Amino acid sequence: MHIAPLGIIAEGDGWVIAPFRPSVTLDNLGEVPFAVANYTDDVRIFAGCLTGRKDWPTVPVEGYPVPRISAALAHSVLAVESVSDDSLRPRLSCRVVQEETHAPFTGFNRARAAVLELAILVSRLHMLPREKIETEIAYLSIAIEKTAGPDENEAWGWLMQKVTSHFGTAKGRNAKE
């Protein structure tokens, strides 16, 4: 099992998974041609995956060799039907073989959205200029200060530790402190 934030691509009635080479996701799908798309509003899972916290509780999905995240509001089991090979990013076309809803989606408050945006920035630390990252963090931190609960604060803290580690400087709640 490998939990990773991954953007799947809608294509017709199915989805395309396009992991980069090399990746655990690609290796796993080569061995077991099933994946679970977990739909969650727990931003700690996204932040955790980007900061080395990938041990999230799972539950079995009856009839399939892949579990789902316990905190998923819903999930889709995807079966790989074909692979378009590529030296950098192969495309695995998948068919939805099972879907289930577990809880309602009540939306994202500003803090949850800010954590997701920071998670995207953290995934691109190696590509973006420091000034852009610091500017974005300064703006996103406003939403954290105004609307974050304990889960959003925890996720924000994990991501900010990653930013601090990347730049090798001490930072507080936002990048300009």
Q: What is the per-residue pLDDT across 60-79, written as a single tens digit (0 to 9) for each?
A: 999 999 999 999 999 999 99
Query: What's the confidence (pLDDT) of residue 127?
Result: 95
Task: Pick the closest to residue 125 from 49, 53, 50 (CA basis).
Answer: 50
Q: Which two tokens stand for residue 111?
A: 């803090």
Measure the CA–CA gap between 146 and 84, rounded to whole angstroms: 46
Which CATH architecture is the domain 9-43+54-101 placed in?
A: Roll (2.30)
pTM, entire model = 0.86
CATH superfamily of 110-167: Hypothetical membrane protein ta0354_69_121. (1.20.58.290)
Q: What is the per-residue pLDDT across 94-121, written as a single tens digit (0 to 9) for each?
A: 999 999 999 999 989 999 999 999 999 9
Measure the CA–CA gap between 126 and 99, rounded to whole angstroms: 36
* Domain boundaries of the chain, sorted by first residue: 9-43+54-101, 110-167
Low-confidence stretches of the chain (pLDDT < 50) are 170-177
Query: What's the confidence (pLDDT) of residue 169?
Result: 61
